[in-house]
Amino acid sequence: MTPFGARLRALRAERGVTLKDMAAALGVSSAYLSALEHGKRGRPTWAMVQSIIQYFNIIWDEADELLRLAEMSDPRVVVETASLSPQATLVANRLAADITILSDAELEALLAILDGARSRAARS
């Protein structure tokens, strides 16, 4: 499941909306919406995210967060390391090979490292 899919499922649960009803309102199949929730479809389009935002009547920060989650929810990631160091290529390949054996705590630790690097880069 992707971060976007998890949030979408939570929104449906919070509001008591069935997959079937939401799919009909958005003009998509229940199978598509289920696949989107489970990360078996690619990242949702901007138009689809906007439709979901309107469907749930989401505003401001919550809408921005849903858009951010959609951007970070491509289940088929490609990492281009051709212009980077050999170490970067090694990290990308190891992460691809070993991500399934990492615990949630280990994934959180990696995210914290990446967040710190992004913060340092933004200050530079």
Kindly tell me if the per-residue pLDDT of 75 is higher than 80: no
Kindly report the pTM of this predicted structure: 0.69
Kindly tell me if the per-residue pLDDT of 86 is higher than 80: yes
Question: Where in the chain are the domains?
Answer: 3-71, 86-123
The b/e string for 97-123 (b: 16+ C-beta within 10 A; e otherwise) is eeeeeeeeeeeeeeeeeeeeeeeeeee
pLDDT-based confidence at 65, cuts 50/70/90?
very high
- Superfamily of the domain at 3-71: lambda repressor-like DNA-binding domains (1.10.260.40)
In this prediction, residues 104-121 reach a mean pLDDT of 94
**Per-residue pLDDT tens for 4-51?**
999 999 999 999 999 999 999 999 999 999 999 998 888 899 999 999
Query: What pLDDT sits at residue 34?
Result: 95
Q: What is the DSSP string of 7-54?
A: HHHHHHHHHT--HHHHHHHHTS-HHHHHHHHTT-S-PPPHHHHHHHHH
